[in-house]
Amino acid sequence: MPGAAPPAETLPAEALPVDALGRPVPPAGDAPRIVSLVPSITELLHELGLGERVVGRTGFCIHPAPAVRAAAKVGGTKDVDLDAVRALAPTHVIVNIDENRREDYEALSRCVPQVIVTHPVQVEDNLGLYHLLGTVFHRGARAQVLARELRAELAACAPLAAGPTRPVLYLIWREPWMTVGPETYVARMLAQVGLRAVAPDSPRRYPEVDLGAPGLHPAPEAVLLSSEPYRFRERHCREVAALPGWQGVPVRLIDGEMVSWYGSRAIQGLRYLRQWRESLEQAFREKTGP
């Protein structure tokens, strides 16, 4: 028909969405078989209405329950069972630069028709992620809904992001203590609500920190203990609060999924962080008094 857009299959490469490696990703067929090796991406695929197309997942892909359990487990994010993946005959495997190993990606690239690489670094990168997966798997309308919801949450956070910041130490591991660097997705999520993640000067994105002599600048006004990857509990709050130099600094638990999971979880995460920041400010008000 004159003037009609060409079918997606015939679009030039520059018109196709690209993955984190800058490679154009062609649209999937009518019955894709997807293996997701990224927990937050597995959740996003379900949010896009693709749950029935997810045939494989890692053991860490636990949301949304119970629907996610219909997909076969293929190991963990760092110890993928490649034979189990091959046995599922996937048309697509989705990986992440931070969460999965390069050697697994390379092995899968030799036997799977399409390996899609993801790597959100900025919170706004979720918009591109929605577009990528929504376009490839023919869920563009739902992807646009998620994009609108994320933009609304970013707008709601804008006054906090533009206002006074509070430096915080966000701990993700114990023995050794480890934190997040300023270039991480977690740090950028925190920044959306005016929390500045401070860390030792290190080339590592997730550096170790000596709580006995942290040398952090500016000094953290609060310590946040994440629920993942290390599962911090209240006893760890008491442990940190009792260390020399940390008495009087609020030490609080925080939901790591809400802060570190991208995809559709970023929408909930921003809402959660706004409320969490308010609860932190309330604690400071109670501490300082009228």
- CB-based contacts of 234-240 (< 8 A; 24+ apart in sequence): 236/174, 240/171, 240/211
Q: Cis omega (within 30 of 0) on the bond before 159?
A: no
What pLDDT is attached to residue 287?
72
What is the predicted pLDDT for the residue at 289? 63
State the span(s) of the chain assigned CATH 3.40.50.1980.
8-119, 157-288
- CATH 3.40.50.1980 for domain 8-119, yes or no, is yes
Q: Indicate the CATH number of 157-288 among 3.40.50.1980, 3.20.20.60, 3.30.70.1710, 3.40.640.10.
A: 3.40.50.1980
| C-beta of residue 224 within 8 angstroms of C-beta of residue 254 | yes
Integer Cα distance of 38 and 31 in angstroms? 21
Q: Residue 137, Cα to own-chain centre: how many angstroms?
A: 21
Alpha-carbon distance 175 to 113, whole Å?
Answer: 41
DSSP H stretches of helix in the chain:
39-47, 82-87, 102-109, 125-136, 140-162, 185-191, 234-241, 256-260, 265-288
How far are the Cα atoms of 61, 84, 260, 281 from residue 73, in angstroms, in the given order?
9, 8, 22, 42
pLDDT digit of tens for each residue in the chain (290 aa)? Answer: 333 334 444 555 557 999 999 999 999 999 999 999 999 999 999 999 999 999 999 999 999 999 999 999 999 999 999 999 999 999 999 999 999 999 999 999 999 999 999 999 999 999 999 999 999 999 999 999 999 999 999 999 999 999 999 999 999 999 999 999 999 999 999 999 999 999 999 999 999 999 988 778 899 999 999 999 999 999 999 999 999 999 889 999 999 999 999 999 999 999 999 999 999 998 888 777 65
Going by the DSSP 8-state scheme, the letter that residue 15 receives in this structure is G
Handedness of CA 141, 147, 45, 131 (dihedral sign): positive
